[in-house]
Amino acid sequence: MRKWLLVLGLAGAAWMTFVLYIGSLRLAIISNYPGFFLARWCVHYSGIAPSLWTLWMFNGLLVLMSSLEWVIVGLIAWGAARRFSK
């Protein structure tokens, strides 16, 4: 079970890293809706443009939330599979 949680967490992080690498903010919003708004709520900037640190924080929160979401979905799927297999 722990191995699958690790695999799902890494898959979620890899997915969001790929989405950020290709630069599609729309795909990031669609695939990680709660994480996007959490990152937007946590990371604020003032001025003309955000600093590099602000961008790293925003992207890091997106990757972390995507990883956690994939783990949660995996736990729900595992629980449902266990319940229906009995």
| Residue 85, pLDDT score | 87
Least reliable range by pLDDT among 9-13, 30-34, 65-69, 81-85: 30-34
The label of the residue with tokens 């903010």 reads: 25
| Residue 14, pLDDT score | 94
| Residue 32, pLDDT score | 83
Task: Tell me the average pLDDT across 2-30.
Answer: 89
Question: Tokens representing 17?
Answer: 């890293």
- Per-residue 3-state assignment (H helix, E strand, C coil) for the chain: CHHHHHHHHHHHHHHHHHHHHHCCHHHHHHHCHHHHHHHHHHCCCCCCCCCHHHHHHHHHHHHHHHHHHHHHHHHHHHHHHHHHHC
Residue 65's alpha-carbon distances to 5, 21, 61, in angstroms, are 14, 16, 6
The predicted-structure confidence for 19-70, as pLDDT tens digits, reads as follows: 989 988 888 888 888 888 887 787 776 667 777 887 888 888 889 999 999 9
Q: How confident is the model at residue 76 (pLDDT cuts 50, 70, 90)?
A: very high
> pTM higher than 0.85, yes or no?
no
